[in-house]
Amino acid sequence: MQPPRERRTQTKPVPRALEKLLNTAQLETLHSIESFGWELKFVRKPLFQPAVPIVFDADRSHFAIIEEDGRLNENPGLTIRP
């Protein structure tokens, strides 16, 4: 059985340094919440839309997104698969 064909051939891979995808306001928020145990886990990059950084708390039981203006949105209405 052959592995499934990769369909994302036209998109650039996400850089290892995810912080490069964030703007200044998002970086400031990220750095301030890291002292409380929050960690940047991944960045969603919807087509033709700004990057959406996803952060998890220290217990990995709660997630939030950092909005474009730097606000922490703890009720983003997203579903994260386990």
Spell out where the chain has E strands: 39-44, 52-56, 63-66, 72-73
Does pLDDT of 13 surpass 70? no
Q: What is the pLDDT of residue 20?
A: 87
Q: What is the pLDDT of residue 3?
A: 65
* Distance separating alpha carbons of residues 16 and 73, to the nearest angstrom: 24
Question: Domain locations in the chain?
Answer: 41-76
Over residues 28-73, the pLDDT tens digits come to: 999 999 999 999 999 988 889 888 999 999 888 889 999 999 999 9
The model's pTM is: 0.73
* Distance separating alpha carbons of residues 68 and 26, to the nearest angstrom: 6
